[in-house]
């Protein structure tokens, strides 16, 4: 028996921190840390979902404590989802770190602000739009 407001607040804080981390960091690895926090927030939310009465956020039990008797969810959906989430996150970070490593080997940096080759304003971006649209209407 715990108060649900706590986990909710924790989710909010983790998500906010994750967003900040993703947006404010330059180092690719640190950006990934932010992403991990976002995923973690999602995981907490899933587990919180298991703790909710049947029907989730739409359940009448949320507002009326007398209907708090919760029929057991035989599939324990929230927790299973969290586990899967963690797995996916692990796969993701493995891949991401591989990319970061490759980037570092190619560019000798893991600073994301220094890698802009795919940007439209890059001097190496040669596909001029006029070549695509074929000029203007008369």
Partner 1 sequence: MTGGVDLVGPWALAVLVALPLAGALVLLGRGLPARTATRVGVTISGLTLLLALAAAASAAPFAAYPGSRPGLELDLDWIPALGVHLHLGLDGISVPLVLLTALLTLLVCLHLVRVQPDAGRVGGLVACVLAVEGGALGTFLALDLVVFFVAFETVLVPMWFVIARWGDSGQRASTLAGSSRPGGEQARREAANRFVLFTVTGSALMLLGLLLVAMRSGTTDLVLLAQRGGQDLALGVQTVAACLLVAGLAVKAPMFPLHTWLPPAHTIAPTAGSVLLAGVLLKLGTYGLVRVVVPVVPQGLREIAPVLGAFGVAGVLWAGLACFVERDLKRLIALSSVAHMGFVLVGIASMTPEGLQGALFANVAHGLITGLLFLVVGAVKDRHHTAELALLDRNLRDRLPRLGWLLAFGALAGLGLPGLAGFWGELLAIAGAWRSDSAMGAISRPVAVLAAVGTAVAAAYLLRVLRRLWHGPGGAPAAPASLGGPGRFIGDATRHEVVVMMPLVAATVALGVLPAILLEVTGPAVRALLAGAP
Partner 2 sequence: MTALDVVFALFASTAAAGALLAVTSRHVVHAALWLVLALGSLAGVYLVLAAEVVALVQVLVYVGAVVVLVLFALMLTRAPIGVRADLDAAPGRRRVAAVAGLATSALIGGTLLAAIGSTAEVPAGDGTASALGSATFTGWVLPFELLSVLLLAALVAAIAISRGRDADTPGLDDLAPGGTADRADPGAGSAAPAPAAAPAPATPAAPSRAVGPDGTS
Partner 3 sequence: MTALAALLTIVLPATFAALGIAVSGRSPVWAREWGRTGALGCLVAALVEAHGVLTSGQQARIGLLGSADLGSVTVALDLRADQLSALVAVAVAVVALCVQVYSGGYLAPDQSVAPDQAGAPDQPGATDQPASAYAEAPTRYPAYAATVSLFTAAMMLVVHADDLLLLLIGWEVMGACSYLLVGHHSERASARAAAVKAFLVTRVGDLGVLIAVVVLLAGGGTTSISGLIAAADTLPDGTLTAATLLLLAGVAGKSAQFPLHTWLPDAMEGPTPVSALIHAATMVAAGVFLVARLLPLFAAADGALAVAAVIASITMLGAALAALAQDDLKRLLAWSTISQVAYMLAGVAVADSAGAADAAGAADAAAADLAAAGPGILHLLTHAAFKALLFLVAGCVTHLVGSTLFADMGGLRATHPALAGLLGLGLAALAGVPPLGGFWSKEAVLTAAERAAREGAGWPAWLVLGSGLLTALVTGMYAARAYALVALGPPRTAAMHAPDGEAATAHRLPASMIWPLWVLAVPTAVLGLVLLAPPDLLATTHVDPLTAFTGAILSLAGVGWALSAPRLGTADLALALPAGVRGFLRAGYRLDDVQHALVVRPYRALARLIGAGDRDVVDAYPRATVVATRWAGLGLRRLGNGMATSYVGWAVAGALVLGLAGVVLS
**Stretch 29-68 residues interacting with partner 3 (CB under 8 A):** 31
Interface stretch with partner 1, choices 35-43, 54-62, 104-112, 130-138 (CB under 8 A): 130-138
Residue 84 phi, psi (nearest 5): -65, -40
Binding residues for partner 2, rule CB under 8 A, total 91
Q: Is 82 exposed, middle or buried (0-12, 13-18, 19+ CB in 10 A)?
A: buried
Task: With beta carbons less than 8 A apart as the criterion, state whether 35 and 54 touch.
Answer: no
Find out whether 79 and 46 touch, Cβ atoms under 8 Å: yes
Q: How far apart are CA 14 and CA 114, in angstroms?
A: 28
Q: In the window 83-112, what residues touch partner 2 (CB under 8 A)? A: 83-84, 86-95, 97-102, 104-111
126 touching partner 3, by CB under 8 A: no
Does 137 help bind partner 1 (rule: CB under 8 A)? Answer: yes
Which residues here bind partner 3, judged by CB under 8 A? 19, 22-23, 25-26, 31, 112-113, 115-122, 129, 133, 136-138
Which residues here bind partner 1, judged by CB under 8 A? 134-135, 137-138
């Amino acid at each position: 028996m715990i108060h649900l407001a706590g986990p909710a607040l924790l989710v909010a804080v983790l998500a906010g921190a994750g967003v900040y981390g993703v947006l404010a960091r330059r180092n690719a690895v640190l950006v990934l840390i932010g992403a991990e926090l976002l995923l973690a927030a999602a995981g907490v939310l899933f587990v919180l979902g298991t703790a909710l009465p049947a029907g989730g956020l739409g359940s009448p039990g949320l507002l009326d404590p007398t209907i708090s008797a919760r029929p057991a969810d035989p599939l324990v959906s929230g927790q299973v989802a969290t586990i899967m989430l963690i797995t996916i996150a692990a796969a993701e970070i493995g891949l991401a770190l591989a990319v970061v490593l490759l980037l570092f080997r190619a560019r000798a940096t893991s600073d994301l602000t220094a890698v802009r080759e795919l940007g439209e304003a890059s001097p190496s971006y040669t596909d001029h739009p006029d070549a695509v649209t074929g000029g203007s209407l008369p």
